[in-house]
Structure 1
């Protein structure tokens, strides 16, 4: 794999136009955009080379954007064949639909200007990424089911980067290398350097056991949220969040946010909120690059989910999983033992995503419901049996099951009811998968303006300071539409990099 050149630690006299802190999707998009703007750019990555790439590297690479039809998709994916187009209903996902989803999923709390920027620049940004060598493909295996010989995409999410998060990061790194943009590994930003007017003039960096000051005209902060910081999680998300698993990198501890707050930046957004999902109960403390996102368990719309008391506690079929999975981790964390079991029978087993087939899975199987409930650790057997019997009796079997649409096949009289895809748990063999809360990224961060500038507590821009990615607050509240994290990182990374380069040039 091509790696960007690594420069020696500078003396204080060395100077860059733009310094980017972070080396994930948002950061590398910022670096490429700043380079296009004529800036001399340096990228700082706290992680060693083997673990570099931020949270982006741990994702499946799904990326949400607005498109008006298959021709927009073919412009992004020129390898798409006529046969593939004929066997697939890609539909459309217009700017109006994307904007409406952002509003609906966040209870209309998202910053309207940030949302508009994300939506209106999403397609152009993906095409720009493709021009830098990032390749995209349809997510047939995750976002479409084959019914009557034809795939139908659902939930507004159609495209992923080839190779998933690993492929995305590798492609962006290769682009840095081609453009001779230096990337320092194990170079942690410690503080921002400012002049007597409060303008950003550099970064204090710890690298290879030494502390050096890197002078610059502009800084782009793109170092992720604070999800890997147990103390901050407990402080801002609340009690119990120190017990959550972290899906991604161990290096996203809020450093970029702290550096900005230290010089008067404005905190913004949903500081008590986070993207948190159903995650394998025995997954490690932080993400495992060998497994990637395989610990996630996202086929719950076709299951029932039981807590230790044997009770259901959420509507598994409230919406397509794209619109519920990021908030259900919080629901699981709040249960006894901070865990739950997803229960399937043979009628829906074929719909399970590949992540259910990995070797590192916490799973029990049985040929009878009684045996299954007895095998699920820490679950009250009689309570689980009663819940399953009650659920089966409440299913409206007159409505056809269709995994590609909100089919309205529901239960009646339960609390909570399941409102779509309600299938009785009655056909052996049966399977249970134990899950806990997997924390992806935090929603609280810094306030930026329409050009990516970081605002201070008086809502004035801090000269020379820009931000992108997870540490931007105000876009997601309580939940988020699947795939919009990577698109937001790319859109605002490109915006921040271009603005930082223009500032340096001025």
Structure 2
């Protein structure tokens, strides 16, 4: 005997809660399975600031669809690209089965964002363009007041009021299917009851696999040992939803060998201890050598690519070196979220020794950099100033000022794994597609469980992806019961 519902949702972040509330608003009986306790519910959603790529409350950014489309695949066959621009019913089998987010999905995503924000406002969530940790930026970012925790609590409260049943410390382990392969529900595990069958249409909204070292090594490779989730909620995301669907014939989508990278201080245990101040200093590895352009563009647009270069260094770590000139940058502390102090020394030689670098290496690197710096009369702290080094490899494109005013400071930086890119392929209704491009009946997905991104994350879209496709999944389930 199992527990029977109309909808069984795996995951209690914004994607799962969005699905649960929307389904309950349609009069459906809903169960939410959450591996965490009630106090810890919400996974990564609880810890995120929940940046939203929107220029007003009812309009996404101008490049929303374009950026997603440009990062939806790499070196795609031009014949397939041409097919994707035509009506879906004309696509070949190969095009239907591509592991990319198709144009219709991206368009539907963008089109449903404004209504989703209005829906959340109706639940009591307020939004504003609040200060962010990015001192320079090219894209507006709307935020819910109170961050992701405010979203989680507002949605969970509404779900409870609508009679949604929550099962805490209950983990989805596998799909229940009949002899024709149709999804019937979920097998879950709880400490009290052991294995439990939950019967109903399934929405997988249980995150990516950043909290699972085995899957990280499997998909990202052995260097993934140098990564860690960006917040404690990420450790709950262990990939069961993705794996159980793939086993059932679901199509993979997104870049399984990659993830959203963010620069953080490895010494800190706070949520998202980011270090976004590196464009104003230099980055060096454990050998005391520079290895990348620290400021190719505004920090909101370039931090991911720079962080990936940090991940490539020995032991996956680097150090930003700063001097007292950093205090010329207005509100520079906003770009430093760690709770740990800077490592300081009166001389570069002493700082290098504290960081365990070869004797004289840091001093020599800074000297070469300083000699390549232009006069800093054109320095503009809060906009791209084109103040670039001359004759230095690698170059620094902006904010190139000498590092010579001690005492000197350093922050260690590693790449955090905010979320993994690889996941399940869905259609515009949130239905999981199989490897032939056909919907798997009674199976839906939302949030990080859905694969969409390749190479470069379209910033401030992940939370929106969870909210939008959680709602669309529930609405499709409700419509299919009519």
Tell me the TM-score range normalised by the shorter chain: 0.7 to 0.9
Residue matched to 2:64:
98
In 1: Cα distance, 2:276 partner to 2:135 partner:
14
Q: In the alignment, is residue 484 of structure 1 matched against residue 468 of structure 2? A: no
In 2: Cα distance, 1:380 partner to 1:101 partner:
42
Tell whether the 8 Å contact from 2:352 to 2:359 is kept in structure 1 after alignment.
yes
Residue matched to 2:90:
none
What are structure 1's unaligned runs of at least 5 residues?
A: 1-10, 77-92, 146-153
In 2: Cα distance, 1:320 partner to 1:212 partner:
50
Per-residue displacement from partner, 1:428-468 (whole Å, max 9, x unpaired)? Answer: 33210012221111101111112111011121110010101
Tell whether the 8 Å contact from 1:57 to 1:165 is kept in structure 2 after alignment.
yes
In 2: Cα distance, 1:423 partner to 1:116 partner:
43
The TM-score normalised by the length of structure 2 is 0.87
1:49 aligned counterpart, secondary structure: coil
Per-residue displacement from partner, 1:36-59 (whole Å, max 9, x unpaired)? Answer: 333221111011223221111221
Tell whether the 8 Å contact from 2:124 to 2:154 is kept in structure 1 after alignment.
yes
Q: How many residues are matched?
A: 452
Deviation at 1:344, TM superposition (A): 1.7
Q: Please report the RMSD computed on the Cα atoms of aligned residues, expressed in angstroms.
A: 2.3
Deviation at 1:358, TM superposition (A): 4.5
Tell whether the 8 Å contact from 1:143 to 1:155 is kept in structure 2 after alignment.
no
1:292 aligned counterpart, secondary structure: coil
2:222 aligned counterpart, secondary structure: coil
Residue matched to 2:406:
428
Per-residue displacement from partner, 1:380-423 (whole Å, max 9, x unpaired)? Answer: 34222122122222223366233443322222222221112223
In 2: Cα distance, 1:480 partner to 1:403 partner:
26
In 2: Cα distance, 1:358 partner to 1:272 partner:
28
1:127 corresponds to which of 114, 118, 122: 118
Residue matched to 1:113:
104
Per-residue displacement from partner, 1:261-294 (whole Å, max 9, x unpaired)? Answer: 12111112201111122221224xxxx5xx222x
Closer, same or farther: CA 493–400 of 1 in aligned 2, 3 Å: farther
Per-residue displacement from partner, 1:188-231 (whole Å, max 9, x unpaired)? Answer: 11111122332221111112332111111x11100000111111
Tell whether the 8 Å contact from 1:106 to 1:480 is kept in structure 2 after alignment.
no
1:322 corresponds to which of 300, 322, 327: 300
Residue matched to 2:36:
47
Q: In the alignment, is residue 187 of structure 1 matched against residue 170 of structure 2? A: yes
In 2: Cα distance, 1:119 partner to 1:353 partner:
34
1:277 aligned counterpart, secondary structure: strand
1:199-210 superposed matches below 5 A? 199-209=182-192, 210=194
Closer, same or farther: CA 357–502 of 1 in aligned 2, 3 Å: closer
Deviation at 1:184, TM superposition (A): 1.4
Q: In the alignment, is residue 63 of structure 1 matched against residue 52 of structure 2? A: yes
Closer, same or farther: CA 383–120 of 1 in aligned 2, 3 Å: farther
Tell whether the 8 Å contact from 2:287 to 2:361 is kept in structure 1 after alignment.
yes
The TM-score normalised by the length of structure 1 is 0.83
1:26 corresponds to which of 15, 21, 30: 15
In 1: Cα distance, 2:61 partner to 2:261 partner:
26
In 1: Cα distance, 2:344 partner to 2:70 partner:
38
Tell whether the 8 Å contact from 2:16 to 2:470 is kept in structure 1 after alignment.
yes
What are structure 2's unaligned runs of at least 5 residues?
A: 77-99
